[in-house]
Amino acid sequence: SKRLIVEMLFLGETIRPIPALAPFFQITFIYNTGSAFGFLPQAGDVFLILAVVIVGALIFFYARIPPGISRIAVGLVCGGALGNAVDRLTYGAVVDFIHYQIPGVISNV
Task: Report in angstroms the alpha-carbon separations of 32 from 4, 18, 54, 85, 108.
Answer: 17, 24, 20, 12, 10
Taking each helix axis as running N to C, give the angle between helix 69-91 and helix 44-61, from 0 to 180 degrees, rounded to the nearest 10. Answer: 150
Using a cut of 0.85, tell me whether the model's pTM lies above it: no
Tens of pLDDT along the chain (109 residues)?
899 999 999 999 999 999 998 878 899 999 999 887 777 878 888 999 999 999 999 999 999 999 999 999 999 999 999 999 999 999 999 999 988 876 656 666 6
